[in-house]
Amino acid sequence: MSIYLDHNASSPLHPEVLDEMLPFLKSSHGNASSLHQSGRFLRSAIETARSRVAELVNASPEDVIFTSGGTEANNFALKGFVEMSPESSLMSSQIEHASVLHPLEQVKLAGCVTNHLPVTTDGIIDIEASLLLIQQHSPDLLSVQMANNETGVIQPVEHLARFAHGNGICLVHTDATQAIGKIAVDMQQLDVDMMTLSGHKFQGPQAVGALITRASTVKTPLLSGGFQESARRAGTENVAMLVGFGKAAQLAAIKLQERQSYLIELRRYFEQQLAEIPGVAIFGANSERLPNTSFFAIPFYHGETLLMQLDKAGFELASGSACHSEVTLPSHVLSAMGIDEDLALNAVRVSFGMENTRQQVDKLIATLNELINQLPAVMR
């Protein structure tokens, strides 16, 4: 059986989440919009899930809009805002997920102004340069990820949001997809107006997420034709998935400290051995990172080639964002960091989960060394 080391792409469904979902998959019928007993029961289950998600990030339940995942939530935040404010100015970083960068390209074609904040060689948004850009361009909406999906580097969202709000400049959205369940995320402390979450990134089901937004921030829905989600997102709710999402949120809050402590130590153990490989580069190592993420490159070993060799040996990793796994161009994140293209093409990401062990790390390191030793001597 393969050793799964790609939790930033998707994490395994927690057994307690599955247990909570099963009754709704097996025997719960009806529509949560119906007024009869079955409908009221389903509505109650949805509202319990909503409260659990809100509690996880210190938000109000009425501000939680359930979606099909992080991609829809990001599109909703950006396009919904533009629908309310045509020809507005939007700003994000150079290292956002494609579900932020691509919508920004689309709204730019529609007449909006878009700008991007630079990042340092350590993978963190350049604060000094960014504050200056925010002052110069006065964006209407700033969208900055909480943590990068490739490097794991945690971004200064609170600093940027408080500066923007303190100067009365703009609304702030953060894509917290990768951060939830790995670090503490408090919407009030971050001082953001909108936040994106995705269930399968923290051991919930796939195809469910949320945009948490203050009622006045985004009013125009992406999907129309019904009055679900307070008329902000039409369509019959998938109750089983929402129940699982809520349970995963509850577990993420309860188990946060345990997960953080375990994953920090496991990553440290891995990178101590990884650093012994001659010439290895660990991206973002000088910045605060998600506890489970290590993005690295081995000289002379193309990332996708290494990925396939490791897959044959029973290890499942990523060569970057899973959404870009078929693209041969270097990671846009590493390019923004100024990493040499040849080295960037060698990048491989390990993202640990709670089921991973030191014994598995030892096996991975041993396999990496075996593969490196198979290279021609001139390349080692």
Q: 6-56 pLDDT, tens per residue? A: 999 999 999 999 999 999 999 878 888 777 888 899 999 999 999 999 999
Position of tokens 């396999």? 367
Q: 224-267 pLDDT, tens per residue? A: 777 678 767 868 899 999 999 999 999 999 999 999 999 999 99
A 10 A CB-CB count for 351 gives: 27
- Tell me yes or no: is domain 15-254 CATH 3.30.1050.10: no
In the chain, list all ranges with CATH 3.40.640.10: 15-254
Going by C-alpha positions, the residue among 210, 173, 201 that lies closest to residue 77 is 173
Q: Would you state the structure tokens that stand for residue 322, as one six-digit string?
A: 């899973």
| Active-site annotation holder among 231, 323, 329, 375 | 323
Position of tokens 């990178």? 271
pLDDT at 39: 81
Task: Count Cα atoms within 13 angstroms, Cβ side, for 54.
Answer: 16
Position of tokens 């899930």? 49
In the chain, list all ranges with CATH 3.90.1150.10: 3-11+256-379
CATH fourth-level superfamily of 3-11+256-379: Aspartate Aminotransferase, domain 1 (3.90.1150.10)
**Mean pLDDT calculated for residue range 192-217:** 94
Q: 278-334 pLDDT, tens per residue? A: 999 999 999 999 999 999 999 999 999 999 999 999 999 998 544 445 557 899 999
Query: The pTM is what?
Result: 0.94
Is residue 170 flagged as an active site residue? Answer: no
Q: Would you state the structure tokens that stand for residue 77, as one six-digit string?
A: 């935040």
pLDDT at 321: 42
